[in-house]
Amino acid sequence: MLDVVDPATGERVGEVVPATEEEVARAVAAADAARTAWRRT
């Protein structure tokens, strides 16, 4: 887990789970496919 910190106050406001390399690759591929479809509109 990674802490999410408000830079203005230094307060911890949450936490996130780091993504794996495979998860990032899938997210980038999905975003690229969506961008390609959107570009045609």
CA–CA separation, 29 and 18 (whole Å): 18
CA–CA separation, 11 and 21 (whole Å): 29
- Residue ranges of the domains in the chain? 2-39
State the chain's maximal CA–CA distance in angstroms. 43
Query: Mean pLDDT in runs of 10 for the chain (41 residues)?
Result: 97 97 98 92 84
Torsion sign across C-alpha atoms 17, 20, 24, 29: negative
Q: Is 3 left (phi over 0), alpha (psi -120 to 50) or beta?
A: beta
**pTM across the whole model:** 0.59
